[in-house]
Amino acid sequence: MSCIEERPSNCQYCGYDCAVIATVEDGRVTKLRPDPARYPYGASVMASCKRWPMNVEALDAPDRINFPLRRKGERGSGQWERVSWDEALDDIAARLADLAAEHGPATLASAIGGPHCSFWPLHRFMNRFGSPNNMGIGQICWNPRIWMDMVTFGWTVEADIVAGLTECLFIWGTNPAHSDNSAFWAHIQAYAAGAGSLVVVDPRKTEAAEIADVWLPVRPGTDAVLALGLLNVIIDEGLTDDDFMEAWCHGFDELARAVAPWTPEEVAQVCGVPAEDIRRAARLFGRARAAAIVSGRGIDQLGRAVPHIHRGICCLRAVTGNVDVPGSCLLAEAPDFVSELVMEQSDEVAEGCWEASLNRGRTPLQSFDGYDALRALTEKLGRTPPMRYLTSALPDYVLTAMETGEPYPVRALIVNATNPLLTYGDSLRVRRALEGLDLLVVLEYHMTPTAALADYVLPAAGALERPVLQVHGGVANAAYGGPAAVAPLYERKRDYDVFRELGLRLGQEDAWPEETLEEAFAASLAPTGLSWEEFCATGLYWPAPTPRKHEQLGRDGAPRGFATTTGKIELASELLPRFGGPRVPEPVLAGRLGEEAPGAGERLILVTGARRQPYNASMYFENPRFRAQCPAPQATVSPATAARLGLVAGEAVELETVAGTARFLLDIAPMRDDTVSADYGWWRPEDDPAAPHFGAMEESNANLLTVCAKDEPLIGTWSYNAIPCRLRPYAGRLGWQDDTDTTSL
């Protein structure tokens, strides 16, 4: 007789980690449905999400990696032999020990991607091994904002969009209609349908721009100037909250002097948006009782302009009194659970680890020195920033150390939940650097182009086979997640187990007291008073943050203020100049805007990676339903640009930048006439992921057009947007054009 049970678990196809109930028959998941009893139940989220049904099929999909694989033959040749976990981990540990003995432990680097899983187990392993060289997406996703929020307010803030309270909302360089699986986007739509005004800053006329009161189609990469212009109007027209500033802001006069030259007319010249619209947007923001700003990776990926844009946005909030008040934004609370830093064991690193940091003195803020200076401030108010994100190594430096051995050789790499051949800047450089390594280990679900280069591909357990506890780097007092429905299938392993078992082989016995991931999560939650099982019953720990924390009295009877050098919001920063940075935001343009665009064709400004459902970065191209719905990578231009160039929708085009060329099918949509937007992440899982074509990653991969060289001096941010390029028709055919039938995928 078969045994049928219903077990709670979570989808893990995006950061929501929605609660599901799995029907488990004889140890196999056969069905899935939304769980209305646990976080983040909202019928609309899962009703409109196309991904979660993939969970059941992905669990047993023929293209999943199920056993440890060891390379046979040439690197990248696609020949593998199945080995046992013991063979794989013994050999990896022995080779890492040999390499560390020869070159020092920093010879091992690691690479992570978006927030697909908990990264602290990898980082704990790296800390204890003694290497600071974890590469991530830090410099271009999330952490420029985290840095500048922390520099300005002493901690991060999150927009608090409340119907009836929020009177103005800015959506700046983000398009939640595609990047967020509907809950947040539905919230924005509901907001926009009410009385509050909506301003969208985006070179493309996104879904959000369609419903906005003001669309500011900013010239890519000029957002810092726009922020100064908005501040100029707000200050000039007396729309500031002077009582708040008097009590809580530092450096207003300096800021006012810096924005004075940036009248809407001046700004209009640089940003290519009408002066009158800048005034309207500034007035909507300045006159609102409560106003909020949501920003995204559109402005995180603009090289040297990035800190100025984020500091400008911080100042907009502060001068109008929109900080830590309901309807504007709230400063996150320190987590009650064990912080990311402690989970990573970043305070217990092996000796010499930080000294070996490649960022040291080169990206002074995104370094251990920058981190320590920040932490000394935030800890005054009991908050510890996540260390590994804010110190992650600049990929450019790590690649250089792989390529040249300077300043020391990086000879080994562990890749966890990322596909750098598609998602890191300058794909061909990344591929060459990885090809030259002594040891490449990739933990994956699928044989990606990156995995195809590995010495070992290790089978990762994913959703339903792995519990999840999402804490977003521990920058807020919010945690959500839930249990696994089944034990890992085949010989897949949870990443915690992989790094623990590797660590135990390398003398890290005291670093891994918890035997299982569930025990580790339980230890993390212990200070909240909840057991892992109690937490799983609701899947959520989120005491609502209290507003106006700066006014609360501390133990000394004085208001707590903000965790900055001055105890106030720093319109003029006292911290940044210590690292060579500016006190106030400056009119800095994206690093590559001034660059030449080689080759023939129309010169346009390229933005890459605008999110498109149902895909996520380089994932899900193997799904035939998705491919039928969205069959090819597109380069999008405005109707006027297409007409000017005599191009029609669906024809093949080529883009060229200083970095290289890539080919797409043309799409036409409302946007700026000087801009082209290229999809990113595209490769063909149905093609051989191995050499010489690596899943066609040289055809339509937007990162053939980018470089990852340091551009921003404090953090190191490079550019995925605002890149001069040429657009021209392409005479050949693209692989995608021959895909008449995707059912064979």
Ligand X SMILES: Nc1nc2c(c(=O)[nH]1)N[C@H]1C(S)=C(S)[C@@H](COP(=O)(O)OP(=O)(O)OC[C@H]3O[C@@H](n4cnc5c(=O)[nH]c(N)nc54)[C@H](O)[C@@H]3O)O[C@H]1N2
737: left (phi over 0), alpha (psi -120 to 50) or beta: alpha
Binding range to Mo ion, per CB under 5 A, among 8-16, 139-147, 176-184, 382-390: 139-147
Q: Which of 8, 9, 11, 366 binds ligand SF4 (CB under 6 A)?
A: 11
> What would the DSSP string read from start to end of 261-313?
T--HHHHHHHH-S-HHHHHHHHHHHHH-SSEEEEE-TTTTSBGGGHHHHHHHH
Q: Which of 21, 24, 29, 46 binds ligand SF4 (CB under 6 A)?
A: 46
Rg of the Cα atoms in the chain: 25
> What would the DSSP string read from start to end of 660-717?
-EEEEEEEE-SB-TTEEEE------TTS-SSTTTTTTTTTS-GGGS------STTT--
Sign of the C-alpha dihedral, residues 128, 132, 137, 142?
Answer: positive
Q: Which of residues 154-183 bind ligand SF4 (CB under 6 A)?
A: 181
Instruction: Report, in Å, the least distance between residue 180 CB and Mo ion.
Output: 12
Q: Distances in Å between the alpha carbon of 433 and those of 98, 119, 137?
A: 20, 23, 18
Site string for ligand X, 456-475 (x = CB under 6 A): ----x-x-------------
Question: CB under 8 Å to 347, separation ≥6 — which residues?
Answer: 341
Q: Distances in Å between the alpha carbon of 615 and those of 13, 178, 414?
A: 10, 9, 25
Q: Which is nearer to ligand X, 11 or 610 (CB)?
A: 610
Cβ count near 583 (within 10 Å)? 18
SS3 category, 596? coil
Q: Which is nearer to Mo ion, 142 or 664 (CB)?
A: 142
Instruction: Report, in Å, the least distance between residue 402 CB and Mo ion.
Output: 23
13 counts as binding ligand SF4 under rule CB under 6 A = yes
Q: Which of residues 128-167 bind ligand X (CB under 6 A)?
A: 137, 140-141
601 counts as binding Mo ion under rule CB under 5 A = no
Strands 168-172 and 329-331, sheet pairing: unpaired
Round to whole Å and give the CA distance between 711 and 247: 36
What own/partner pairs with CB < 8 Å and gap ≥ 24 does 204-212 have? 204/175, 204/607, 204/610, 204/636, 204/669, 204/670, 204/671, 204/672, 204/675, 204/677, 205/669, 205/670, 205/671, 206/175, 206/177, 207/175, 207/177, 207/178, 208/171, 208/174, 208/175, 208/176, 208/177, 212/171
Question: CB under 8 Å to 453, separation ≥6 — which residues?
Answer: 75, 76, 421, 431, 434, 435, 440, 442
Q: Which of 31, 95, 178, 360 binds ligand X (CB under 6 A)?
A: 178
Contact present, 441 and 456 (Cβ < 8 Å): yes
250 counts as binding ligand X under rule CB under 6 A = no
Site string for ligand X, 673-712 (x = CB under 6 A): ----x--xx--------------------xx--x------
427 counts as binding ligand X under rule CB under 6 A = no
Q: Which of 38, 51, 219, 311 binds ligand SF4 (CB under 6 A)?
A: 51
Q: Which is nearer to ligand SF4, 18 or 126 (CB)?
A: 18
- Partner in contact with 581, chosen from ligand X, Mo ion, ligand SF4, none, beta carbon below 5 to 8 Å by kind: none
392 counts as binding ligand X under rule CB under 6 A = no
Site string for ligand X, 91-130 (x = CB under 6 A): ----------------------xx-xx-------------
Round to whole Å and give the CA distance between 410 and 211: 49
364 counts as binding ligand X under rule CB under 6 A = no
Overall residue count recorded for the chain in this entry: 745
400 counts as binding ligand X under rule CB under 6 A = no
Chain residue at closest Cβ approach to Mo ion: 141
Q: Which of 143, 392, 448, 573 binds ligand X (CB under 6 A)?
A: 448
Instruction: Report, in Å, the least distance between residue 603 CB and ligand X.
Output: 17
Q: Which of 21, 22, 24, 49 binds ligand SF4 (CB under 6 A)?
A: 49
Round to whole Å and give the CA distance between 526 and 508: 23
- Partner in contact with 16, chosen from Mo ion, ligand SF4, ligand X, none, beta carbon below 5 to 8 Å by kind: ligand SF4
309 counts as binding ligand SF4 under rule CB under 6 A = no
- Partner in contact with 511, chosen from ligand X, ligand SF4, Mo ion, none, beta carbon below 5 to 8 Å by kind: none
Q: Which of 52, 445, 512, 683 binds ligand X (CB under 6 A)?
A: 445
- Partner in contact with 49, chosen from ligand X, ligand SF4, Mo ion, none, beta carbon below 5 to 8 Å by kind: ligand SF4
Instruction: Report, in Å, the least distance between residue 12 CB and ligand SF4.
Output: 7
Tokens of 559: 């208001």
16 counts as binding ligand SF4 under rule CB under 6 A = yes
115 counts as binding Mo ion under rule CB under 5 A = no
620 counts as binding ligand SF4 under rule CB under 6 A = no
The CA-CA-CA angle for residues 339, 340, 346, to 5°, reads 110
Question: CB under 8 Å to 207, separation ≥6 — which residues?
Answer: 175, 177, 178, 185
Instruction: Report, in Å, the least distance between residue 11 CB and ligand SF4.
Output: 3
Round to whole Å and give the CA distance between 567 and 71: 56
Taking every pair of C-alpha atoms in the chain, what is the biggest distance, in angstroms?
Answer: 80
Round to whole Å and give the CA distance between 444 and 116: 11
Q: Distances in Å between the alpha carbon of 568 and those of 32, 60, 150?
A: 50, 54, 12
Q: Which is nearer to ligand X, 24 or 662 (CB)?
A: 662
Tokens of 480: 């959500």
538 counts as binding ligand X under rule CB under 6 A = no
Q: Which of 29, 45, 234, 486 binds ligand SF4 (CB under 6 A)?
A: 45
- CA 723 to chain CA mean position, Å: 20
Binding range to ligand SF4, per CB under 6 A, among 12-20, 595-603, 620-628, 630-638: 12-20
Q: Which of 173, 264, 335, 585 binds ligand X (CB under 6 A)?
A: 173
Q: Which is nearer to ligand X, 495 or 518 (CB)?
A: 495
Instruction: Report, in Å, the least distance between residue 162 CB and ligand X.
Output: 21
179 counts as binding ligand X under rule CB under 6 A = yes
Instruction: Report, in Å, the least distance between residue 535 CB and ligand X.
Output: 20
Q: Which is nearer to ligand X, 288 or 607 (CB)?
A: 607
141 counts as binding Mo ion under rule CB under 5 A = yes
Q: Which is nearer to ligand SF4, 43 or 600 (CB)?
A: 43
114 counts as binding Mo ion under rule CB under 5 A = yes
Read off the amino acid at residue 282: A
Contact present, 431 and 453 (Cβ < 8 Å): yes
Site string for ligand X, 298-317 (x = CB under 6 A): xx--x---------------
Question: CB under 8 Å to 215, separation ≥6 — which residues?
Answer: 199, 200, 202, 205, 209, 277
Tokens of 438: 């002594």
Round to whole Å and give the CA distance between 462 and 468: 10
The CA-CA-CA angle for residues 470, 476, 480, to 5°, reads 25
- Partner in contact with 11, chosen from ligand SF4, ligand X, Mo ion, none, beta carbon below 5 to 8 Å by kind: ligand SF4
Q: Which is nearer to ligand X, 427 or 508 (CB)?
A: 427
In the complex, the residues that contact Mo ion under the rule CB under 5 A are: 114, 141
In the complex, the residues that contact ligand SF4 under the rule CB under 6 A are: 11, 13-14, 16-18, 45-46, 49, 51-52, 181
In the complex, the residues that contact ligand X under the rule CB under 6 A are: 113-114, 116-117, 137, 140-141, 172-176, 178-179, 201-204, 206, 218, 220-221, 223, 296-299, 302, 416-419, 423, 443-446, 448, 460, 462, 495, 607-613, 615-619, 677, 680-681, 702-703, 706, 720-722
